[in-house]
Amino acid sequence: MNLPERISPIGRSLLNRRSFLGQTGMSLGGLALSQLLARDNLLASDAADGLGPIRPQIDEKNPYSSRPPHFEMPAKQVLVIYLPGAVSHVDTFDYKPALYDLDGQKPPGIPAVTFEGPTGNIAKPFWDFRPRGETGKMVSDLLPNLAEMVDDFCFVHSLTTQTSAHPQGENFFNTGFTMEGFPSFGAWVTYALGCETEELPAFVAINDPRGLARSGKNNFGSGFLPAAFQGTDFTASNPPANLHRPDRFTPGADQAGVDLLRKLNADHLESFPGDADLAARIASYELAGRMQTSVPEVMDIAGEPKHVHDAYGTETGTELKRAYANNCILARRLLERGVRVVQLFNGSDPAGGNGITNWDSHSDILKTHAMQAEIMDQPTAALIADLKQRGMLEHTLVVWCTEFGRMPFLQANGTGRDHNPDAFTCFLAGAGVKKGFSYGESDEFGFKTASNETTVYDFNATLLHLMGLNHERLTYYHNGLERRLTNVHGHVVKDILA
């Protein structure tokens, strides 16, 4: 049976092959043009409202050169002290008297199961809290050296995150996304601002003496940003490889080879303008050449005065503590020489850890947290105090952070605390932040945020702001989207700004 044709004239025109090809070609051309205009920040709406992306003007031949911030702020460098494994806020900086009253009880509202299984009873802090400094800030005896410096710190007690898992938690805190493949905070900062020194990398990651954290190099990777902005990782005991000239080459022959390579690289780059990967490789090789002379000098930690070694504790305590103390001195020496971002890790997690290689204390928290604190406390406090007495906190932002907190109640095993993404504590110090200040609160148990909830997006937005960067306009066009550290979220926490 033949049915009557029910196609409108417009519909019939769409079935015309010439019309279809013509309209498709025009549409694809328009999409391509909009992509090119967006990439170069030339869309009319962006120019009209002044809210479009701010693209750093990067010299492909010198991608590390210093660039101005979006607006002036005191912080010019940043030290991120990252503690993988989740430090227990209720046993360190977040004092909760109610935990003493309910110790050993299981009041209503406690979930039956958390991340690693059934829950136990409320547990009071495993270390006594005491008032510290002129502000009287309550800090536990677990961290006596950091406790002495609370008048210099700005605490954020109301942090929340999106995940209870360590790999995703590390990713989220350091890159703004739980998935892998996104640029780290340090990569975003160096992409925007470059570096003040040409002799050292703009971004250095100093891994824990025990190895990488759970998410590995993703914590300091460049993701889809140009490769030049990934962190260069080395430690006080493991310098970058291949720094020394082989004995069979004379200094003159070595320099002649470097000069020839520089000329060949320049010719090659001129033949392929706009190739960011090629430019990054050439810049990386040239930086590596300069590092052959600069890195041995910056690694000369043994040459520091005895009083410095005594303050940091490089000759006391466990071998791990001494190694971490040397890493802390290395961090200060890198900042002194103009490195823009230094990320210092205290804790690793190549295969789980459970309180031994990091702060992840699911069992025997009294022993495992104490072990980690013995490694971290004195060297970290000495590092911050050293920066202060050298006047470096005037232009350096210090960030002490971990991926989430721990529960106010024990796990069913009765000796450890499970992961807590709904309330945890980090602190800032130095350029641009208030001193002796606490922002936000968790509830009476330290279980959930009670006031001024601060998401990781908010925290990262504030860090970028302190570096003079607008987190909404610092973007990179990737796979059809304007990507940024804070995704489409985040607000600057203005109450903590000095």
pLDDT tens for 171-186 read 999 999 999 999 999 9
More confidently predicted of 14 and 381: 381
Give the pLDDT of residue 353: 59
More confidently predicted of 258 and 126: 126
Does the structure show a pLDDT above 60 at 289? yes
Is residue 188 within 8 A of residue 464, CB to CB? The reply is yes
Q: What is the mean predicted confidence (pLDDT) over 427-440?
A: 98
User: Where are the domains positioned within the chain?
Assistant: 77-243+295-496
More confidently predicted of 284 and 407: 407
Does the structure show a pLDDT above 80 at 492? yes
Residue 116: pLDDT band (50, 70, 90) is: confident
Query: 8-12 contacts: CB < 8 A, separation 24 or more?
Result: none
Q: Which of 134, 147, 155 has the alpha carbon at shortest distance from 437?
A: 155
Q: What is the mean predicted confidence (pLDDT) over 278-306?
A: 80
Written as six digits, the tokens of 344 are 């210092």
Does the structure show a pLDDT above 50 at 40? yes
Q: Which residues touch 169 (CB under 8 Å, ≥6 apart)?
A: 86, 161, 163, 178, 403, 404, 421
More confidently predicted of 19 and 323: 323
More confidently predicted of 232 and 15: 232
How far, in whole angstroms, is CA 143 from its chain's centroid? 23
pLDDT by residue (tens digit) across 198-225? 889 999 999 999 999 999 999 999 999 9
Residue 485: pLDDT band (50, 70, 90) is: very high
CATH number of 77-243+295-496: 3.40.720
Residue 48: pLDDT band (50, 70, 90) is: very low
Q: What is the mean predicted confidence (pLDDT) over 91-95?
A: 98
Give the pLDDT of residue 62: 82
pLDDT by residue (tens digit) across 324-360? 999 999 999 999 999 999 999 999 986 555 788 999 9
Task: Give SS3 for 6.
Answer: coil
Which phi and psi (to 5°) does residue 150 adopt? -60, -25
Give the pLDDT of residue 63: 85
What's the half-sphere exposure (Cβ side, CA atoms, 13 Å) at 301?
26
Give the pLDDT of residue 45: 43
Q: What is the mean predicted confidence (pLDDT) over 431-454?
A: 97
The residue whose two tokens read 């008032």 is 131
Instruction: Compute the mean pLDDT over every residue in the chain, rounded to the nearest whole number.
Output: 89
Residue 271: pLDDT band (50, 70, 90) is: confident
CA distances from 85 to 113, 369, 384 (A): 20, 10, 22
Q: What is the mean predicted confidence (pLDDT) over 160-181?
A: 96
pLDDT by residue (tens digit) across 143-155? 999 999 999 999 9
The pTM score is: 0.86
